[in-house]
Amino acid sequence: MNFDSSHAFAEDLDRLDPLAALRDKFYIPRSLDGLEQIYLCGNSLGLQPKSARVTIDEILDSWALNAVEGHFAGDHPWLSYHEFITEKMAHLVGAIPSEVVAMNSLTVNLHLMMVSFYRPTAERYKVLIEKNVFPSDRYAVHSQINFHGLDSADALIEVCPRIGEYNIRNDDLLELIDREGERIALILFPGVQYYTGQAFDLTEITHAGHRKGCRVGFDLAHAVGNLRLQLHESDADFAVWCSYKYLNAGPGAVAGCFVHERHGGQSDLPRFAGWWGHDKASRFQMPDRFSALSGAEGWQISNPQILSMAPLLASLDLFEHADMSALRVKSERLTGYLEFLLNTRCGDRMSIITPASVDQRGAQLSIRVNSKNAKGKRVHEKLGQTGIVCDWREPDVIRVAPVPLYNKFMDVFEFVERIRTMF
């Protein structure tokens, strides 16, 4: 749409926003002066849904009143609590319910997936990642390679942007897969690159990998609840994600995992087994031999973290109410408006390293300060002092994430108005 840089235009965008009422479903932090902060940091930690307290209190009340019987009592008995999340989560990520499970943390789930899907052989043993991958993924991949007695210097392939560029060219990635694919056992890629905000085409990457016989998995930490995902149709072998960013499930929240249905029934697929992944029909008979549940649930290790799942259940209800397609439309407008204002109001004093194309980015713009009179980190600190919460990432990027569930267009306008005074 065509944007305008006036205050009145921002007010009109908020007044006409069909999702504006969702903001009232969240607690908005306040500064010391009592005014609401301009919170643009949902890519690090989403705001608390007001309904999260209700879902947590329900569990605490059941624990107090029912003790161990809480596993079977009430509207949300603990024994099957994770199942109340499954269908909502599956809808959000474009999966069949049996392909999705809420469990553990992201990196734990990544390790569990690599146990099953990184099976190196003498001819096919390499792992393809992006060079600037989030450190936790890098550590996990290195440790898995070493676990198999291999050397990361030989077994790791890294794709990076061209010299002088910030984003990976799709053609470069696909050419690398085509050239090296017969030696690649696993392609592990992000849905959205955490530093630049670049979004990748999961389906295209998956098909390119499968044509060469590779297994393909994704880290969707910055994509879930941000982009419209179609994991089942993408044909990816697996995906993992956290729930405390765009999913607003709170610090250290339970994570999620997707395993495509073609693998869900493979009981002989290598995995690290635990009691909760055992067949429900005989789980409480305490058999000696493990019999995996069909679907993603078969990768569960331990019983569900009930208190951690409660806020996620509350947040997923909001996504169901809003619909991801409508949220994505607003998200594109928010970031488009932010891009317009930065380009028109800040000129060459700032540059955006996130792709300009809306289908190559989510709800984040990564900004570099170019001014000789200001340092990026100092600008970020000054923003915090004025009640604006965004994110700094070394060495030189301010990450700004206007989230469609609770951010206003006026938040974007005020952010740009304040930052342009800091040069």
Q: What is the DSSP string of 131-159?
A: TT--HHHHHHHHHHHHHTT--HHHHEEEE
Task: State how far the Cα of 367 lies from the Cα of 412, in Å rounded to an integer.
Answer: 14
Supply 194's token pair. 């955490």
pLDDT score, position 348: 85
Phi-psi region of 164 (alpha: psi -120 to 50; beta: other; left: phi over 0): left
Binned at pLDDT 50, 70 and 90, residue 374 comes out as: confident
CATH of 56-320, one of 3.40.718.10, 3.40.640.10, 3.40.50.2300, 3.30.470.20: 3.40.640.10
Query: Which DSSP category does 361 fall into?
Result: B
The 10s digit of each residue's pLDDT in 168-211 is: 999 999 999 999 999 999 999 999 999 999 999 999 999 999 99
Task: State how far the Cα of 168 lies from the Cα of 158, in Å rounded to an integer.
Answer: 11
Binned at pLDDT 50, 70 and 90, residue 373 comes out as: low
Length of the chain counted residue by residue: 423
The 10s digit of each residue's pLDDT in 271-320 is: 999 999 999 999 999 999 999 999 999 999 999 999 999 999 999 999 99
Ranges of each domain in the chain: 7-36+323-419, 56-320
CB atoms closer than 10 angstroms to residue 172: 14
Q: Are 324 and 402 in contact (CB under 8 A)?
A: no
Q: Show the CA angle centred on residue 264, arms to residues 260 and 265, nearest 5°.
A: 140
Q: Residue 372 pLDDT > 90, yes or no? A: no
* Coil/strand/helix, residue 317: helix
Query: What integer is the mean pLDDT of 356-379?
Result: 90
β-bridge partners, 365: 400
Sign of the CA dihedral 259, 263, 266, 269?
Answer: negative
Query: What are the residue ranges of helices labelled H in 129-239?
Result: 135-147, 152-155, 170-180, 202-211, 231-234
The 10s digit of each residue's pLDDT in 339-365 is: 999 999 998 889 999 999 999 999 999
pLDDT score, position 422: 83
pLDDT score, position 392: 95
Supply 57's token pair. 């209190």
Query: What integer is the mean pLDDT of 149-166?
Result: 97
Q: Residue 138 pLDDT > 90, yes or no? A: yes
Q: What is the DSSP string of 368-380?
A: EE--TT--HHHHH
Task: State how far the Cα of 171 lies from the Cα of 155, in Å rounded to an integer.
Answer: 23
Class of domain 7-36+323-419: alpha beta
Task: State how far the Cα of 210 lies from the Cα of 204, in Å rounded to an integer.
Answer: 10
Task: State how far the Cα of 36 lies from the Cα of 87, in Å rounded to an integer.
Answer: 34
Sheet with 350-352, strands from edge to edge, namely 350-352, 365-369, 397-400, 391-393
Q: What is the DSSP string of 30-67?
A: B-TTSPBPEE-BTTTSPPPBTTHHHHHHHHHHHHHHHG
Q: Show the CA angle centred on residue 123, arms to residues 117 and 127, nearest 5°.
A: 45
The 10s digit of each residue's pLDDT in 233-279 is: 999 999 999 999 999 999 999 999 999 999 998 888 999 999 999 99
